[in-house]
């Protein structure tokens, strides 16, 4: 049995031992994956320009479990871009790929100063490539590697632009579902940008629907409890924002472990209060983080606008 969230082989059971995703819905008699389709001509989906000669990968600038990010040159404009190449071959039929593409085109409309712009997608040698704005700077994950934890004002100053970015995407009916420190960039000129509003989650939606699997896209530590069951709404991203805020302020994850144990901790709200780890965190900020990390969806802030306003009020009390 293969987990459709982390793609590792897992034993029979209700949850993946590695990432905690629900796997019991996988049918053992499921038909094998279809053979790879004919190569889809490399095409920039947004305007149908050929991409084979237009984009040249120059150097690797990042690597994750599912993808590699390259600095690239657009020979048509001379501009530098970032291109993310997914490691897995695309093995869906053309009809299924068309469905994914229609989902992806939703992301292309996002135009916000705090969102890394996605320009388009194409397929080369059976692998998906995502064309993005190149942001020179560092991720929050890299910042935490250097500093371990941030001051309350520093963390709030990062999360407020995140609230504006995700609030804007929610207004466009796009839920991020994978908000985490490595998906938040701080440019060299200090602009906070959220990234990875991309095809990975859209592709998994299609794969999940074809295999009768719940879609559990996300990173387990930061995922809301309902995400482990393939369910999500706008408060799902608020939960992840709370987990990121917790880590920025304490230097630690709110939860540990994996699989069913991780899910159990979330159901019981079994995290250490952040000011027990870092006494410099004010009580009103602790209370807000606890609301964000609530197992009960209705107890979380109702929107990112509400979360942003609460953070601004807390920041004012810290500064006065």
So which residues are the catalytic ones? 178
Contact 67, 85 (CB under 8 A): yes
Buried b (16+ CB within 10 A) or exposed e, 280-293: ebeeebbebbbbbb
Contact 222, 183 (CB under 8 A): no
Q: How far is CA 218 from CA 21, 52, 84, 179, 180, in A?
A: 9, 31, 17, 8, 9
Using CB atoms within 10 A of its CB, is residue 212 exposed (0-12), middle (13-18) or buried (19+)? exposed
Strand duo 184-187 + 137-139: pairing: antiparallel
Integer Cα distance of 214 and 97 in angstroms = 19
């Amino acid at each position: 049995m293969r987990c459709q969230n982390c793609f590792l082989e897992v034993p029979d059971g209700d949850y993946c031992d590695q990432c905690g995703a629900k796997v019991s819905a996988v049918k053992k008699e499921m038909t094998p994956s279809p053979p790879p389709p004919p190569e889809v001509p490399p095409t920039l989906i947004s305007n149908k320009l050929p991409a084979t000669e237009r984009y040249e990968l120059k150097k690797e600038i990042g690597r994750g479990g599912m993808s590699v990010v390259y600095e690239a040159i657009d020979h048509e404009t001379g501009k530098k871009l970032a291109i993310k190449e997914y490691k897995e071959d695309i093995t869906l039929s053309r009809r299924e790929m068309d469905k994914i593409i229609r989902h992806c085109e939703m992301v292309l409309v996002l135009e916000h100063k705090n969102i890394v712009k996605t320009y388009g997608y194409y397929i080369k040698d059976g692998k998906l490539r995502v064309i993005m704005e190149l942001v020179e700077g560092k991720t929050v994950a890299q910042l935490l590697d250097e500093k371990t934890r941030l001051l309350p004002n520093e963390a709030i100053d990062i999360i407020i632009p995140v609230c504006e970015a995700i609030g804007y995407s929610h207004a466009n009916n796009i839920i991020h579902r994978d908000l985490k420190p490595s998906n938040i960039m701080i440019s060299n000129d200090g602009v906070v940008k959220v990234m990875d509003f991309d095809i990975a989650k859209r592709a998994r939606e299609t794969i999940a629907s074809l295999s009768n699997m719940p879609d559990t896209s996300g990173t387990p530590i930061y995922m809301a409890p309902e995400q482990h069951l393939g369910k999500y709404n706008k408060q799902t991203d608020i939960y992840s924002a709370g987990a990121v805020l917790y880590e920025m302020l304490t230097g630690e994850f709110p939860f540990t472990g994996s699989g069913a144990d991780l899910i159990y901790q979330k159901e019981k709200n079994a995290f250490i209060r952040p000011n027990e780890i870092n006494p410099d965190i004010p009580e009103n900020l602790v209370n807000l983080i606890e609301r964000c990390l609530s197992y009960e969806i209705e107890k979380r802030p109702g929107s990112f606008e509400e979360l942003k306003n609460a953070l601004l009020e807390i920041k004012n009390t810290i500064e006065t």
